[in-house]
Amino acid sequence: MKQTHYVAREPDAHGFIDYPEQEHRVWNTLITRQMKVIEGRACQEYLDGIEQLKLPHERIPQLGEINKVLGATTGWQVARVPALIPFQTFFELLASKRFPVATFIRTPQELDYLQEPDIFHEIFGHCPLLTNPFFAEFTHTYGKLGLAASKEQRVFLARLYWMTIEFGLMDTAQGRKIYGGGILSSPKETVYSLSGEPEYQAFDPIEAMRTPYRIDILQPVYFVLPNLKRLFDLAHEDIAGMVQQAMQLGLHAPKFPPKAAA
Ligand SMILES: [Fe+2]
């Protein structure tokens, strides 16, 4: 596991997390800015989720508030975790329909980019689509597959996650839209991902698994779904078999410079 200087906040005996005022202000800055940026760019299913969650703007939401909505729509929950968790814990949580949320928020100095997924990324980026049955089903299936996978298979599964749940795009009657939470929680990438500057590939799960990525740069290539139901259908296909095929075919050459040289 990597190191982090962030520490997740602990709840009191009633499950309430008392964030300092400065952290509520960071949330307010992030959500106010990002609600504007996603306009016309986020897919409708995500916006429907935003509508249902009714996220507060002036304060960091409590996990219990999110759980009420997720529980009533898809049966998902959010689970409080430390700033970074092992892969094993991550898969165990997803396999039991619990989405990990680290209860810390980025510092004002890291407003635009941080490597650790904070509560803004997890709640604003991922929770809206967890109200969608197609997306929820895929995420659940993904967790179960990850739990059963070997260490090497998990690396290929991680790329599938990256190219869908984190950085996925989707074609709609209203044009190309974003559904990936890694994009939707980043103002820069929200604009860039639809700018025409990066490369776009029609979604193919095996190709996604074979495509290397770096977490600290704007993505050079995005995979585009025909619709969100494609993820639901994929959840009922032989993903484990696709992992085997991807492993046999091997990785594509990266479309980005190595980290040391960057
Ligand atoms: Fe994420």
pLDDT in tens, 189-223: 999 999 999 999 999 999 999 999 999 999 999 99
Give the Cβ contact number of residue 27 at 10 Å.
24
- How many structural domains are present in the chain? 1
- CATH number, domain containing residue 239: 1.10.800.10
Q: How far is the CA of 227 from the centre of ligand 1 (A)?
A: 20
Q: How far is the CA of 100 from the centre of ligand 1 (A)?
A: 9
Q: How far is the CA of 247 from the centre of ligand 1 (A)?
A: 24
Q: How far is the CA of 101 from the centre of ligand 1 (A)?
A: 9
In a domain, 197, yes or no: yes
Q: How far is the CA of 218 from the centre of ligand 1 (A)?
A: 15
Q: How far is the CA of 242 from the centre of ligand 1 (A)?
A: 23
Q: How far is CA 33 from CA 9, 37, 46, 52, 135, in A?
A: 24, 7, 17, 20, 25
In a domain, 190, yes or no: yes
Q: Is 166 annotated as a binding residue?
A: yes
In a domain, 156, yes or no: yes
Q: Is 252 annotated as a binding residue?
A: no
The pLDDT tens digits of the residues spanning 73-128 come to: 999 999 999 988 999 999 999 999 999 999 999 999 999 888 899 999 999 999 99
In a domain, 187, yes or no: yes
Percent of the chain with pLDDT over 70: 98
In a domain, 258, yes or no: no
In a domain, 36, yes or no: yes
Residue positions counted in the chain = 262
Instruction: Please choose, from the candidates 94, 50, 90, the residue with its C-alpha nearest in 3D space to the C-alpha of residue 73.
Output: 50
Q: Is 122 annotated as a binding residue?
A: no
Domain span including residue 134:
21-249
